[in-house]
Chains A and B, each alone.
Chain A
Amino acid sequence: MLESVLQTLIFGILVGALYALAALGLSLVFGVTKFLNVAHGDLLMFGGYASFWVFSLLGLDPFLTIPTTLVALVLIGAIIYRVLFIRMVKLTEETKIKNTLLVGFGLSVILQNLALRFWTADDRGITASYSGVAFTLLGVRFPLVRLASLLTALVFLLALHLFLRRTYTGKAIRATVQDWEAATLMGIDIHRVYFLAFVLGAALAGVAGTLVAVNYSIEPSMGLNWTLKALIVMVLGGLGSITGTLVGGLALGLTESATSLLLSNNYREVAGLVLFILILIFRPQGLFGTKEA
């Protein structure tokens, strides 16, 4: 009994770190630009496919496909920003959130159907030579791939943290989050900041996609589910803090694995969504951690 509880805990943490990484890009983009890009899950799906193809065509180690995936998603993100989202920069906050949500839905439909045409509806996954390897500690299994994924997620969380805290550009991004008007007056080019945040968000979605392809499987219609997961984590963890995103991800991961231990694996998703709605209802304004709340 104790062992299965421990195992649940460990799996919750392992999957929770992945959820945090999946939400990190969405949260960054929303925090900086107030764009609610609901096509985030579809960008994640494209990241998964980018890694899948590099892995199966070149035979690289799955974790070494991350750099090419980053480049691919930076390009896709840049195109999407330049073509679509740049047109919504100047809207008032409420209209901006609503319109980016709608445009995001349209984009999600487009990306999903393009993926369906290019790569068919088949489930695909990345199976590395060491995929089955796991070691056991105190009767608890630690699959090697999941540990490597945890490590990858933590590295990217930390890297973003350091980028925002230690670099001049990071400082400009944080200044824009605090008060974009004041930031403009201080000579910060907020168009560049928005572009940078959006592209970084897409790249982070891409890495998360790689990890999803390694740990689970990918298919063209997976986007909505991952967008929902990212939204749940964002709401759980509050906005603008990387620590908050990590905590939110772990909370969702633990909730899900506790549900599958106590109830049934079929209700994992439901538990997260119920948690999400409860928070939305009982903290109506403060969810995204705005100052006015």
Chain B
Amino acid sequence: MSKSKIAGIALLVLAVAVLAGLPLVIKKDSTLNLLVIVLLYIILASSWNILGGYTGQSNLGHAAFFGIGSLVTRQLWIAGLPFALCFAAGGVSAIGLALLIGVPAFKLRGVYFAIGTLALAQILNVTVGNILPEMSYNPAIADYQLVPRYYLFLALTLITIGAGYVFVHSRFGLGLKAVKEQEDAAESLGVSALKHKLLALVFSAFFAGLAGGAFAYYHVSYYLNMPFSPLWTFDPMMMAYIGGTGSVIGPIVGSVFFVIIKELLVLNVGEYHLVIFGTLFILVVLFLPGGLVEAWQKIRRALSHWTRTQHRDMAPTETR
């Protein structure tokens, strides 16, 4: 195992340990709430990335899976079922929706897929708002505790990232990359584009659905169509792009960056954070397709190149 890999794993273990230990140290609800939001964004951006980043299919309907997961979980939970069951049902319902819309949606290529999925999510958004217009209250409101909710989000985040890592580094992940590079060429080598895209969609939808379930467990009161809002697609998508699509770490970097920027700017200049974030997103799309992760790699390469040339320049003087 290389030195950098060991360092990476050590850093990961440390980060998880710190995150797991935080509720013991921090007693302020506002800090924990902020962390929950970061974790939620990481799950959404990472799960979006599985399809959007690895296959290049811009899914603009990610909110539909988040929404259906939260809707099913919340309604079953209010009906009195044990939460674990409701939570699982939320994830399964997102898979169901993915299978239902996947086959017709993947008939659409490129941009048609993007606007088709956007339209689909909007249909669900409006329809749920029409059928269930009333405010939904958390059934556990009487003895609401934040800490278990934080741990649910933390566990789900780790599972999403871990499963995503395994998924994209499997044989299947290679197929996804092939489909992204050249769909027709991949097909001619016996890689079924539809099968790969469909599985990536199901995978992506499942974790978005579970995130919806966790949201239903966490949020005290909201309108049931709120999780279907297109913002739940656009914000995580921008985070994934800014961090760097097509890598496991990118969406995590993007989500953390988004929340930090937001907190800093809210303190200093008010509500301009989305203007700045939109600008960054455009800059990344235009000039830096690999996002912040790529920028960091470039800087590191430049630095090591620089130190090496420094070394070489100095070498002759030493021997002389």
- Where the two chains meet, the residues of A that have a C-beta atom closer than 8 Å to any C-beta of B are 36, 84, 87-88, 94, 97-99, 101-103, 105-110, 112-114, 116-117, 224, 228, 231-232, 264, 266-267, 269-270, 273-274, 276-277, 280-281, 284, 287
Contact partners of B23 in chain A: CB under 8 A = none
Contacts of A264 in B (CB 8 A): 130
User: Does B230 have its Cβ within 8 Å of any Cβ on chain A?
Assistant: yes
Q: Please, how many angstroms separate the alpha-carbon atoms of A106 and B275 in the complex? A: 9
CB of A109 within 8 A of CB of B126, answer no
B309 to chain A, nearest CB (A): 32
Q: Smallest distance from the beta carbon of B141 to chain A beta carbons, Å? A: 29
Kindly list chain B residues whose C-beta atoms are within 8 Å of the C-beta of A266: 126, 130
The answer for the CA separation of A267 and B130 in the assembled complex, in Å, is: 8
* Nearest B residue to A287, CB-CB: B112
Q: How far is the CB of B278 from chain A (nearest CB, A)?
A: 4
The residues of B that contact A98 with a CB separation of less than 8 Å are 58, 110-111, 114
A264 to B126, CA, bound (A): 12
Interface with A: B115-123, B185-193, B198-206, which one? B115-123
Question: Per DSSP, are chain A's interface residues mostly helix, strand or loop, or mixed?
Answer: helix
Nearest-Cβ distance from residue B52 to partner chain A, whole angstroms: 10
| Bound form: Cα–Cα A175–B230 in Å | 38
Residues of A close to B130: CB separation below 8 A? 264, 266-267
- The answer on a CB contact under 8 Å between B285 and A106 is yes
The complex places the Cα of A97 from the Cα of B274 at a distance, in Å, of: 24
Q: Quick check: A228 and B118 within 8 Å, CB to CB?
A: yes
Which residue of chain A has the shortest Cβ distance to B104 in the bound complex?
Answer: A281
Q: Evaluate whether A101 and B58 lie within 8 angstroms (CB atoms) in the complex, with A106-B238, A114-B275 already known.
A: yes
Residues of A contacting B286 in the complex (Cβ-Cβ under 8 angstroms): 84, 87-88, 99, 103
List the B side residues contacting A287 at CB < 8 Å: 112
B107 close to A (CB within 8 Å): yes
Chain B 273-314 against A: per-residue CB contact (8 Å), 1 yes, 0 no?
011011101100110000000000000000000000000000
**A224 CB, nearest partner CB in chain B, Å:** 6
Q: List 18 A-B contacts (CB under 8 A).
A: A36-B111, A94-B110, A98-B114, A102-B58, A102-B281, A102-B285, A105-B234, A109-B238, A109-B278, A109-B281, A110-B274, A110-B279, A114-B275, A264-B130, A266-B130, A269-B122, A273-B123, A284-B112
Question: How far does the alpha carbon of A94 sit from the alpha carbon of B182 in the complex, in Å?
Answer: 12
A267 to B237, CA, bound (A): 28
A116 to B107, CA, bound (A): 38
Is B263 interfacial (CB-CB < 8 Å)? Answer: no
Residues of B within 8 A of A (CB): 58, 104, 107-112, 114-116, 118-120, 122-123, 126-127, 130, 230, 234, 237-238, 241, 270-272, 274-275, 277-279, 281-282, 285-286
Bound together, the chains give a CA A117 to CA B115 distance in angstroms of 28
Contacting residues, chain A, for B120 (C-beta < 8 A): 273, 277
Contact A273 B119 (CB under 8 A): yes
Q: Chain B contacts of A106 at CB under 8 A?
A: 238, 278-279, 281-282, 285
* Beta-carbon contact of B285 and A103 below 8 Å: yes
Residues of chain A with a CB closer than 8 A to B110's CB: 94, 97-98
Question: Could you list 16 further interchain pairs (A-B, Cβ under 8 angstroms) beyond the known A103-B286, A224-B230, A281-B107?
Answer: A87-B286, A88-B286, A97-B111, A99-B285, A101-B58, A102-B58, A102-B285, A105-B234, A106-B278, A109-B238, A109-B274, A113-B272, A117-B271, A273-B120, A277-B120, A281-B116
B220 to A: closest C-beta gap in Å: 23
Instruction: Note all chain B residues with C-beta closer than 8 A to A94.
Output: 110
Across the interface, A277 reaches (CB within 8 A) one of B119, B274, B277, namely B119
| Chain B nearest CB, measured from A29 CB (Å) | 14
B123: A residues at CB distance < 8 A: 270, 273-274, 277
The listed residue with most B CB atoms (<10 A of its CB), out of A36, A105, A284, A287, is A105
Residues from chain A with a CB closer than 8 A to the CB of B230 are 224
Contacts of B118 in A (CB 8 A): 228
CA distance A61 to B100 in the complex (A): 51
CB < 8 Å neighbour of B272 from A108, A117, A228: A117
- Asked if A102 contacts B241 (CB within 8 A), the reply is yes
